[in-house]
Amino acid sequence: MRVLKTLVVVAVLVAVAVGFFVLVPFGPSSETFVEIAPGTGTAGIARALQKAGIVRSAMAFDALTVWKAVRGPGAGTLKAGEYRFDHAATMGEVYDRLRRGDVYTVTVVVPEGFNIFDIAGAVEAAGLDSREDFLRAEEQHTELIEAWVPTGGARSLEGYLFPDTYKFGRHATAAQMLTAMVHRFGQEVTRMGIHRGEVERTVTMASLVEKEVHIDAERPVVASVFENRLAAGMPLQTDPAVIYASMLRGTWTGVIHQSELKSDSAYNTYVHAGLPPGPICNPGVAALKAVLRPARTDYLYFVANSQGATRFAATLAEHNANVAAYRGEAKR
């Protein structure tokens, strides 16, 4: 009987200990990061968590992992990555986070029409890299797009950093972030069925369409205007390309000056006929589709009105009337 009582007491003490280690919250009161390297075993993970003050006992966490593992295949698998902890939690909650792979990431949003300067600014705002260093990387890593642009034919990754919401680890390098963005571009190009030899022209044209209008229904019509002007040997005369030329020179002030309209930059579509030497921003799906399937029109001109809609014209006389109407609306 005494032995039985002893066993009962021991069992109760064990249960209390297990409950204490597993069920009672423990952990930091301030932000703490724990990096779990790929290939780290459960014992190593447990030690790292105890060292960082995330769990009370490495032995107890290791035991919990073993117990979870015997419950079913994959149940005890913990995922590598960096985890962020900022409050006390039960051991079970910590385990569940590592099993789900709830790693800490920083979000970078790249909207349609962002150029390399905008993206570099977004990366800096997210605290991942400086604007200058990231912009330098955007200009250096053109090997990432050699599948679509001949070697040495691109001055940067402009146009090939696909608009999307990205999540990166705190220590992601510029090359890793750029690779992810170019990879998304490649996925979209494949999905849309754009042939490799057509990619460069399609993206360059789409970047102009992206910057000229913001209403998706108008994009195919604007694409038709550009195609019609190219076919007629007329310069595209698109302001966003002139602005981009100023950005590349570092002289953009927010207003287009006559000197910029007359500059000899290859991106000045008032001076040079044909497409600019490369994209002026990173176009989204709607702009790319518009270029792949432009509307069939005889339009050669367009101007946006004060409500953001666009007026199209086939003749210069019609266009001048539209411009006059636009200026009249703007004065009201």
**pLDDT reading at 13 higher than 60:** no
Which two three-digit tokens encode residue 173? 């390098």
- Of 230, 188, 183, the C-alpha closest to 209 is 230
Amino acid at 87: H
Which two three-digit tokens encode residue 265? 């930059």
Q: What is the pLDDT of residue 98?
A: 96
Q: What is the pLDDT of residue 332?
A: 57
What ranges in the chain are assigned the alpha helix state H?
Answer: 2-23, 42-51, 58-69, 91-100, 116-125, 131-140, 174-192, 199-212, 219-231, 239-249, 258-261, 285-292, 316-331
What's the rounded Cα separation, in Å, for the pair 239 and 235? 12
Mean pLDDT of 188-199: 95
Q: Quick count: other Cβ atoms within 10 Å of Cβ 165? A: 9
Q: What is the pLDDT of residue 18?
A: 54
pTM of the model: 0.85
Contacts of 70 (CB under 8 A, 6+ apart): 76
What's the rounded Cα separation, in Å, for the pair 180 and 168? 9
What's the DSSP call for residue 102?
-
Q: What is the pLDDT of residue 72?
A: 64
- Domains of the chain listed by start with CATH number: 20-100 (3.30.1490.480), 106-196 (3.30.1490), 210-331 (no CATH)
Tell me if residue 265 falls in helix, strand or coil: coil
Residue 296 or residue 17, greater confidence: 296
- 3-class secondary structure per residue, 115-128: CHHHHHHHHHHCCC
- pLDDT digits 0-9 by tens, 66-97: 888 877 665 668 999 999 999 999 999 999 99
Largest CA distance in the chain: 110
Which two three-digit tokens encode residue 282? 């990173």
Q: What are phi and psi of 62, to 5 degrees?
A: -65, -40
Q: Answer whether 110's CB lies under 8 Å from 163's CB.
A: yes
What's the rounded Cα separation, in Å, for the pair 65 and 47? 13
Q: What is the pLDDT of residue 76?
A: 65
Tell me if residue 168 falls in helix, strand or coil: strand
What's the rounded Cα separation, in Å, for the pair 36 and 103? 10
The pLDDT mean for the chain works out to: 90
Q: Answer whether 183's CB lies under 8 Å from 173's CB.
A: no
